[in-house]
Amino acid sequence: MPGLEDLYREIILDHYRNPRNRGELDSPPAHRVEGFNPLCGDEIVVYLDLDDERRITDIRIGGQGCSISQSSASMMSAAVKGHTVEEVGDLTRAFKAMMSIHESSLGGEAAEPVELPDVKLGDLEALRGVVKFPVRIKCATLAWNTLAQGIDEALA
């Protein structure tokens, strides 16, 4: 049986207690996007500043949620700040792969081994235990899906 310590690693609890980049940015100029987890009612708001080189120069996180969704959002904000949207795309794919979600296998095609970007997940590794608690995967990916949507909208 997976234990609580697999899920609630110390680093996760630290991000939950002391969320990074919590708050708002003036929008506009920042891009604001909301995400919902329809199952549990969790909400997240991501504020994004992108520069001309498609780099995330600033990010803020608002909303409410459980320790997993809040800490995942906090870690994400720290991990993506200062990176280009291409780098963030790689990071997102690597993170979702860790959550056992492969973009290519969502398309209905035969699951081929996916070429995973070679990126360091750093603190985000702490969320690896979430896959042992499948109902919580959506909590961990909420912020990432919302960020991806925000980037798409900002570049559109």
Partner 1 sequence: MALTTPLDVDAIRADFPLLSRTVHDTPIVYLDSAATSQKPTAVLDAMDAYYRTVNANVHRGVYFIAEQATNDLEAAREKVRRFINASSVSEVIFTKNATESLNLIVQSWGRANLAAGDVVVLSHMEHHANIVPWHMLVAERGIELRWIPLTPDGRLDLSDLDALLDGAKVLSVTAMSNVLGTLNPVRQLTDAARAAGAISIIDGCQSVPHTATDVQALGADFVAFSGHKLCGPTGVGVLWGREELLTAMPPFIGGGEMIRDVRLDGFTCNDLPWKFEAGTPAIAEIIGLGAAVDYLTGIGMDAIRAHEHMLTEYTLRTLADRFGPDIAIHGPSDPDLRGGVFSFAFKDLHPHDISQILDQHAVCVRAGHHCAKPLMKLMGVGATARASVYLYNTTADIDALADALESAGAFFAF
Strand ranges (E), 19-156: 31-37, 42-50, 56-64
The residue within the footprint of partner 1, chosen from 10, 28, 39, 110 (CB under 8 A), is 39
The residue within the footprint of partner 1, chosen from 54, 62, 66, 94 (CB under 8 A), is 66
The yes or no reply on residue 13 touching partner 1 (CB under 8 A) is yes
**Signed CA dihedral, 27, 21, 136, 147: sign only:** positive
The yes or no reply on residue 132 touching partner 1 (CB under 8 A) is no
Residue (67 or 149) nearer to partner 1, CB: 67
The yes or no reply on residue 49 touching partner 1 (CB under 8 A) is no
The yes or no reply on residue 67 touching partner 1 (CB under 8 A) is yes
The yes or no reply on residue 133 touching partner 1 (CB under 8 A) is yes
**100, 132 in Cβ contact below 8 A?**
no
Closest-CA residue to 146 (of 83, 63, 81, 90):
63
**65, 27 in Cβ contact below 8 A?**
no
The residue within the footprint of partner 1, chosen from 41, 107, 108, 113 (CB under 8 A), is 41
